[in-house]
Chains A and B, each alone.
Chain A
Amino acid sequence: MTVPPPLALMMELTHRCPLRCAYCSNPLALEPASQELDTASWRRVLDQAAAMGILQVHFSGGEPTVRSDLEDLVGHAASVGLYTNLITSGVLLDSLRIDALAARGLEHVQLGFQDCDPAGSESISGFRGGFERKIKVAGWLRQRGLALTVNAVMTRHNAVRAGALIDLAAELGARRVEIANVQYYGWGLLNRAALMPTRDQLIEMTAVVEAARQRLTGIMVIDYVIPDYYAKRPKACMGGWARRFVNVTPTGRVLPCHAAETIPDLAFDRVCDRPLAEIWTDNMAFQKYRGIKGMPATCQHCDHREIDWGGCRCQALALAGAADAVDPTCERSPNHDEIQAIAAREAMTGRTDFVYRQRSLG
């Protein structure tokens, strides 16, 4: 049986980032700048992606704008017909760079916000002046006519300001806002006890989002992501393992999801060694958990199997100790009650002792 090609490519151009967000989902072992793929290699990845039927590319990181070849790569992606998204903190952008990116065919920018004020933003990101810069960047993006998404990353520290963040996004001219609770991977998992909202905060946030959706129908789309620790069912992580997304790390390792390297017995290929389409089809890491046959037995027989696609393998490993266990955020997992209790307990600790993300080595 042939494997349908992915729809989207996530290009983590670099792990370098001027921000040090405590919730960062990058791996704890950041890849060094000296080993990042060069421009020609990334261009080949884009060529291969378009040829195999990928439709969208996400330029991500780290902070992708630290790469001086970003404009070149955006232009190349557009020239091979890919829809281009830039996922950025914005703090390194200026109006000239935005003009250059737009001229090369950039369609959409997802601008990350840690809070709706300077103090809250600085506290989570360990970076001063970021908030003010983001407001300027949003203005330049709007002037230039680019599509803007505001990505508001939610923790218990800003949960109460979900409504204010939605209002800010609307004022900035965003067409879309993500009220995205932290997904606890990498640095985020390390800092979970200092970030997790309470269940009451989440209930309030959900009500705020529902009301805003009514009010802003046709004006701004609101995507809402809850921490699945409080959910009955897991999220359809990556839309299903090796089903819709392919992720390439700064050094060219090809992953089914950005956290897949936490699973120890998977062997990954590099884009320099093997064509992307071949990796997608044949690499053991992609094959291992792909489709219904790659799910835990409980999931294979579950009527939600093609809704949540068995949840998240990395989360199963992190929380239940085995990548092939039922994702513990699912109520059918034997660990489900324990996970909910951990979240509730950690949310009440009042801890603010973040371990700020390191900057990548040179």
Chain B
Amino acid sequence: MTGNGRRVVIGASSVPRFLPHVRFQHDPVRDRWIVLAPERMFVPDDIAAEILQRVDGARTVATLAGDLAQDFDAPAATVTLDIITLLQDLADKMVITA
């Protein structure tokens, strides 16, 4: 299943979620988070893994940024930008939609 033939553009008000048939899970053998997609897999770095663990199809990017800024004592504007950059990249790889 794809989107509607248009590129998803991620912004602060987007509500990101994983595309159907994309799985984000912890790999117990290698003790790391992993994204499983059709014939592909991505290993997120630590920051990306923190972000993706909060992607639930309910919270907006702005809400995620607020939570992360608080948890990691970082400026919300920087965190927002980091999240948008990551999720746009993953949207373009057909991993995330919104």
Contacts and interface: CB of A to CB of B under 8 A. Distances in A.
Given A5-B29, A83-B36, A173 B1 contact: yes
A108 to B, nearest CB: 4
B1 A218 contact: no
Given A55-B27, A175-B94, A218-B8, A146 B39 contact: no
B95 to A, nearest CB: 10
Nearest to A145: B1
Contacts of A175: 1-2, 19, 38, 94
Given A7-B41, A53-B29, A56-B36, A219 B5 contact: yes
Contacts of A107: 21, 23, 38
Interface string B32-53: 0010111101000000000000
Contacts of B38: 85, 107-108, 110, 147, 149, 175-176
B61 to A, nearest CB: 16
B7 A219 contact: yes
B89 to A, nearest CB: 10
Contact of B21 (A56, A108, A110, A170): A108
Nearest to B91: A218
Interface in A173-218: 173-176, 217-218
Interface residues of A, number: 28
B96 to A, nearest CB: 10
Interface residues of B, number: 25
Interface in B66-97: 91-94
B20 interface: yes
A236 interface: no
Nearest to A110: B39
Contacts of A56: 36, 39, 41
A217 B5 CA distance: 10
Contacts of B19: 147, 175
Interface string B14-35: 0000011101000101100010
Interface string A14-26: 0000000000000
A147 B36 contact: no
B6 to A, nearest CB: 7
A135 interface: no
Contacts of B9: 218
A142 B19 CA distance: 14
Interface string A47-65: 0000011011010000000
Interface in A75-123: 83, 85, 107-108, 110
B29 A219 contact: no
A221 interface: yes
A220 interface: yes
Contacts of A174: 2
B21 A218 contact: no
Given A145-B1, A173-B2, A217 B27 contact: no
Given A4-B30, A53-B29, A85-B38, 6 more contacts: A7-B41, A147-B21, A147-B38, A176-B39, A218-B8, A221-B94
Interface of B: 1-3, 5-9, 19-21, 23, 27, 29-30, 34, 36-39, 41, 91-94
